[in-house]
Amino acid sequence: MKQASNAHHTTPDDDCITRQKRSFSPSRRMIGHIAIVGAGIAGLSAALTLHDAGVPCTLYEASDRVGGRIHSATHWSQQQSAEWCGEYIDSDHSTILALARRFRLPLLETHHAHGEDTGIKYQLLGRSYTFGELTRSFQEIAPRVLEQYHQIDPATTWDHYTPMAAMLDHMSTYDWIERYIPDGHASPTGMLLDTLYTTLYGVDTWEQSAMNLVTYLGYLLAHSPQSALSSSIDVSYRIAGGNQRLPEAIAASLPEDAIRLRHRLVAIKRHANDRVTLTFDTERGFQDISCEYALLTLPFSALREVDYRKAGFDTLKQKAIAELGYGTNSKLILQFDARPWQRIFQNHSFQSDRLQAIWEATTGQQGEGGILVHFTGGTKGRLYAPAAPYTTTNEPEHADLLRHYARDTLEQLETLLPGLSDHFTGKAALSYPTGDPFIRGSYACWLVGQVTSFCGYEGARQGPILFAGEHCANEMQGFMEGGAQEGVRAAREILRDCAVSVEQPL
C-alpha cells in the first residue's frame, strides 16, 4: 500500500498461521523441474528471469495463446489497434519499460496528466466541468485526505497496520465519500470520486475498502497535487502496434518447448517429500506433472476453481484465494472515421457519472479516424451480456448486439458531441473479462476488511509452491507492472533457494 507512517500492529492470528505451515528446507533443494502455471506477463517474466540465469522451466497455459490479460485488438481499419485488457504503462512502471527496451518495442505517448486547463473533462449530476473547475472545488477536501494518508503505514499488510488503516479498511469507499465529502454523492466532487474509484478498481464503491481511495488519492496528493483527479502522475504509454507484442516477444525468446498451451490446471497435490503434482486438463485428457517447484500465476478468481485441498495451503492463504475481490471492468471499443472529440475532451479522455469513463485508444497512432474506449466497472461493467468474453462486429453472430451497445453509448455522448454518431464506422468490439473462464474478472481489488485480513499474504509462498501476478503486488495491484514485478520476484526466490545468482538483468 502506498502510505506513510510508523505504527505496527500484530494480529492475534499470527501463531495460528505459523502452526499450520509445514516445514520446508530450501537449502536442501536441487534444481529440478520448475512448473509455471499461466503464460501471462507474470509467468513469462518469471520464465525469462529463470532462463537468463540458465535455469530451465516449463510454462503451462490454459488458453491457446500467451499474454493473459495483455492482448491487443488489431482488426481495425487504418492499421489501428486497441487493447482488450491491460492498456496503460506509466513512467514509473520500470519492469515493463525495461522489457520493452530489451525487446526493442517502441512506445507511443498517450497521456499527459498535466494538460492545459481547457476542454470538458467531466459530466456530473447533469452538468459539464473542466478539469480546472473541479480541481478548485477538490482543494476543500484535500487536507482531510492527506491527514488520513499520513496516518497509514507505507508497508501496510495483514499483520502490520495502524489504527487509521484499520478504521478505513472497515469502511466502504461509498461511506467514506458520504462522511468526508460535503454533501456526499449529491456533490460533483463526491460523484466524481465514486465514478473514478468504481472504474479504477472495477468494484462498486459500497463493496470496496476505503483504504483503496485514501492510499491512492493520498499518494497522488502527496507527490503531485495537480494529478489528484487523474489516475497517473505524469505520462502514460502504450506499445506501438499493440501491447501484445511484449508477451509475444518474451515467449519467442524462450526455448521452443518451454510453453505448453491448452493445459488447464485442475488439481494440486504437495507430497510428504515436498514434490508437487499438478494435474492438467489437456487436449489428450488429464495429465499429471511432477515438479520440485510450482509457481502459480493464475488469478485467484481462477485458482478458486482448482482442487487445492491436498496442496497444504495454510488457512490464511486459503482465505485470500477464496475471498480476494475482483473487478468487473468491461470495455466497449468503437471506431470512427474522424476524431471530433479532440476539440472537446481534455487529454482525449472524459469521466461521467452515467458513462463512467471514455478515452481515446489511438492517441499517437496513424490515420484520420480514431477509436474510443467506453470503460465501465462495478455493476455497470457486469451489465453486458455477450455470448463470449471478447467479441467484434466482424463476427456476424455478435454484430447486432455490439451495435446495440454502441448506440446506447453514442446517444449519451451526443449531448457533448452532436453529430458524433455520424462518424461511427459501425466497427465495435467488447471486452468482458468477467466472462473469460481463465480470468473470471478484470483485476484484483481489496473489498471492505480485506487489507487488514490478508493484504500482503497473496504472494506468500507455501513451501515449494509460489505465487505471482498483479494480485500479489501491493503497490502495483491491477497493473501490468505488478504482474511483471511479481513474476521476477518469485523466480528470484527459486534461484536463491538453489544458490543461483539472481543478479541477471531483465
User: Cβ-count burial of 143 within 10 angstroms (0-12 exposed, 13-18 middle, 19+ buried)?
Assistant: exposed
User: Cβ-count burial of 13 within 10 angstroms (0-12 exposed, 13-18 middle, 19+ buried)?
Assistant: middle
User: How many CB atoms are closer than 10 A to CB 372?
Assistant: 27
Q: Is the dihedral of CA 503, 295, 153, 325 positive or negative?
A: positive
Collect contacts of 281-288 with beta carbons under 8 A, ≥24 apart.
287/263
User: How many CB atoms are closer than 10 A to CB 396?
Assistant: 7
Three state DSSP letters for 31-62:
CCCEEEECCEHHHHHHHHHHHHCCCCCEEECC
210 is in an annotated binding site: no
Q: How far apart are CA 374 and CA 355, in angstroms?
A: 7
Cβ atoms of 366 and 80 within 8 Å: the answer is yes
C-alpha cell at 279: 494435474
- DSSP conformational letter for 355: T
Largest CA distance in the chain: 70
Which of 350, 325, 302 is CA-nearest to residue 204? 325
Q: In what order do the strands lie in the sheet with 285-291?
A: 285-291, 276-282, 264-270, 307-310
Residue whose entry in the numeric block shows the C-alpha cell 472497515: 170
Partnered with residue 376 across adjacent β-strands are 330
Residue type, position 448, single letter: V
Instruction: Report the SS3 class of residue 224.
Output: coil
C-alpha cell at 274: 515436498
375 is in an annotated binding site: yes
User: Cβ-count burial of 321 within 10 angstroms (0-12 exposed, 13-18 middle, 19+ buried)?
Assistant: buried
Cβ atoms of 374 and 402 within 8 Å: the answer is no
Which of 110, 115, 61 is CA-nearest to residue 87? 110
User: Cβ-count burial of 419 within 10 angstroms (0-12 exposed, 13-18 middle, 19+ buried)?
Assistant: exposed
131 is in an annotated binding site: no
Which of 71, 80, 70, 72 is CA-nearest to residue 335? 80
Annotated binding site for substrate: which residue ranges?
375
Annotated binding site: 61-62, 375
Q: Pick out the residues of the known binding site for FAD.
A: 61-62
